[in-house]
Amino acid sequence: MLVLGGGLAGITAALRAAELGSRVCLIEKKEIGLAGFLRRNSLHIKNHSLTSNSWKEYKAVLHSEAMSYHQLMKDKLETSGVTVIEGEGRLANQAEISVHKKDGENILLKGKSVILAFGSVPRFPSTLPGEDGVVISIDEISQLQELPERILVIGTGLFALETVFGLQKIGCKVFLCSERKELVPEMDVDFNAEIERQLKQQKIKILTGKKLISFYKKGDELGVTLETGIKFSVQQIIIADARSGIKEVSELKSLGIRLGEHQKVFVDEGMMTSMPGVYAVGSITGELTSDTISQEAGKIAVENALGKKRRFNLEWVPQTIRLCPDLAYVGCNMMTAGHQGFHPVEGVFEGGLNSIMNSSYSQKGKRFKIVADKRSRLIVGAQLISDHSSEWISMILLLIKKGVTVANLANSTYPEGAEINGFCRAAQNCLRALKSS
């Protein structure tokens, strides 16, 4: 199996293929895993050795962590028996990749299947073209020599939210502008309202449902005007979501692979392109992907390439957004459940660890939701805001896959103070809603 691209999706695909007994070759022209790690973690390094809020000191730690991750991924691939070739690769036909190696040698690799995972590049709106140090993408944050005091972030969802929170945490004054009204479209209205409340509490200025009309430069300042007439000034603008295919993607069209708007590679539910035996994973398929999506897509592509029949369903990939506290969701929300043929009923509980011992106690900010199907009474989705979101959302996904009912969860026994009580209380409220509906 040939894997073109050494980001997280490509690495995961290569490791899974090796685990299933394939001979695997991964081709990458830069450092394995490094670009994606820096994009995802440039503002979220946790290191207690930092002695100040110095961006220079922080960057030194970030670089050290990034190189450690790069070496770890290289070691994993080597231990798994994956052959890594450093060079620039291009798909030559259905089962061949031509590689221009770093030492100048040109070689042709042949395989039974190909996984394309060579990523994407930032896409700037026509009204907001990229400009060094002024209008940048999240890819460039780790390259900044210093952080401005006031920054406008434009985008929606995981990457935009993690960017604004990370910047605020480091000491910047941050504005978040989104054309959509929901900060996290995959979560319900009540959760979006709570997310917005918490970000505002952190002194982050939220401007949802607003479109940037214009900006002008005056010295070090950027005067920004939104379509509603709102005006303010910042020193930098960061684009946090839009992507476009890299130059290698345009070459795929001549081979018969279907492309969409902004050089997006079309794939089916099994991650296969319009060319049989050629699969595509990661942001090459049109947008930035979280760690969990990259990993799931990489595994599904490989397993299908080896003869299995697996479908990629975005809703069933657990997602976590690093805020304070963290957010997480999986499965259906109240709107998408109806689109899936369910008759949704929800149960919500707001509170903290001590709520089970003191029903009048409510730790503001923590929130748990269960979405169930009225007919089968099965749990079909969950959302939460909690410090332990990443741990619990994976557990809830397992319960959903095992066919756990609302009553099963509502009547669960748990130790006093255990955070699972939040979901159990949400399930109890959902059970009441089911009985009264």
CA torsion sign, 335 to 336 to 340 to 344? negative
Contact present, 83 and 24 (Cβ < 8 Å) = yes
Q: What is the CATH number of domain 135-239?
A: 3.50.50.60
Superfamily name and number for 319-436: FAD/NAD-linked reductase, C-terminal dimerisation domain (3.30.390.30)
Q: What's the pLDDT at 189?
A: 95
Q: Residues 25-84: pLDDT tens digits?
A: 999 999 999 999 999 999 998 765 666 778 998 999 999 999 999 999 999 999 999 999
**Per-domain residue ranges for the chain?**
2-122+243-312, 135-239, 319-436
Q: Residues 312-340: pLDDT tens digits?
A: 999 999 999 999 899 999 999 999 999 99
Q: What's the pLDDT at 357?
A: 42
Whole-prediction pTM value? 0.92
Nearest to 216 by CA among 156, 124, 131, 123: 131
- Whether 135-239 shares its CATH topology with 319-436 is answered no
Q: What is the pLDDT along the chain (437 residues), one digit of tens a residue?
A: 999 999 999 999 999 999 999 999 999 999 999 999 999 999 998 765 666 778 998 999 999 999 999 999 999 999 999 999 999 999 999 999 999 998 899 999 999 999 999 999 999 988 888 888 899 999 999 999 999 999 999 999 999 999 999 999 989 999 999 999 999 999 999 999 999 999 999 999 999 999 999 889 988 899 999 988 999 999 999 999 889 988 788 889 999 999 999 999 999 999 999 999 999 999 999 889 999 999 999 999 999 999 999 999 999 999 999 998 999 999 999 999 999 999 999 999 997 544 444 443 344 579 999 999 999 999 999 999 998 898 899 999 999 999 999 999 999 988 877 778 899 999 999 999 999 98
Q: What's the pLDDT at 48?
A: 58
Architecture of the domain delimited by 2-122+243-312: 3-Layer(bba) Sandwich (3.50)
